[in-house]
Amino acid sequence: MLLVTGGAGFIGSNVVAALNDAGRSDVVVCDLLGHDGKWRNLAKRQLVDIVPPAELLDWLKGRKLDAVIHLGAISATTATDGDHVFETNFRMSMRLLDWCTAGAVPFIYASSAATYGDGEAGFGDDASLPALKKLRPMNLYGWSKHMFDLAVAGRVANGDPLPPQCVGLKFFNVFGPNEYHKGSMMSVLARRFDDVKAGRVVQLFKSHREGIADGDQRRDFIYVDDVVRVIMWLLAKPAVSGLFNVGTGKARSFKDLMLAAYAALGTRPNIEYIDMPENIRGAYQYFTQSEVDRLCRAGYNGGFTTLEDAVKAYVGDYLDRPDRFR
């Protein structure tokens, strides 16, 4: 069996879909479905079980798995409960790392571009301890992910045991189907699509930094299908381990993202710019752009979808249809 933690979430449910499409129905999801309709992310899938996170360690006792794909986390960059975030994102990850090490089970886990903070130390995915120690995450979520990256790097540096495959993936700004339960953490495209479709004004943040135009804050936007391809490739390449960026390598603006949505619908843009809330200005990233050379040197040659093609696919295949779920 394969275990996908966070498998009812955004990236996780897309991974489960790809596994099903590849003929794997022996998939176990660890997640909480809650009351926000997250179950719909799995409504078209075939699973063995859905295990609540609090029961996972007991469930794992005596089992042998083909791999653990660990995507479960508190992923809100606005989260403020430090104890809860650290317990969920760091300590549970450590327990899974130890379990996979003891049982020689491949372990693929989600890190984040949030570990890079404001980008002052660059966006290179050097997994050495000296390089990682230079990073300064700007929010609690990014710090919790960074702490786990450091823990893994420490074991590598000390020659301590690790799973036979141990891979961390620093996801940049992922968007695509099944993100609808994420509320304010949805991509701006998903949040504003109905406004785009109806011709209502779409609001983007003004810039509060000299030299950067309103709406020109840039991110490395990557379509979820590209992320899934990387994970599926890693499952087929058990000799590959390391810490890798997963982005397109090209930063694009939020304005570009929304203009691509208008283009996909063939409608006239209607964008206005509003002040960024005071509470997030100090921790706001104005630029992220992955360096993907390390992933390519490891052998990945699947390429990445351009922003315009990705938005066109997302709009045409999901957002502009009655059933938006994969």
Provide the annotated active-site residues.
Answer: 141, 182
237 is in an annotated binding site: no
Angle between helices 224-236 and 10-21 (to 10 degrees): 60
> With contact defined as beta carbons under 8 Å apart, do 138 and 78 qualify?
no
Q: Which two tokens stand for residue 21?
A: 């499409």
Distance between CA atoms of residues 50 and 186, nearest Å: 24
> With contact defined as beta carbons under 8 Å apart, do 221 and 227 qualify?
no
10 is in an annotated binding site: yes
11 is in an annotated binding site: yes
> With contact defined as beta carbons under 8 Å apart, do 90 and 148 qualify?
yes
Distance between CA atoms of residues 105 and 109, nearest Å: 13
Residue 195 CA to chain centroid, in angstroms? 25
> With contact defined as beta carbons under 8 Å apart, do 8 and 38 qualify?
yes
312 is in an annotated binding site: no
54 is in an annotated binding site: no
21 is in an annotated binding site: no
Sign of the torsion angle spanned by Cα atoms 171, 175, 177, 181: positive
197 is in an annotated binding site: no
32 is in an annotated binding site: yes
313 is in an annotated binding site: no
13 is in an annotated binding site: no
Residues that constitute the known binding site for NADP(+): 10-11, 31-32, 38, 71-75, 145, 174, 182
Residues that constitute the known binding site for substrate: 173, 184, 205-208, 219, 284
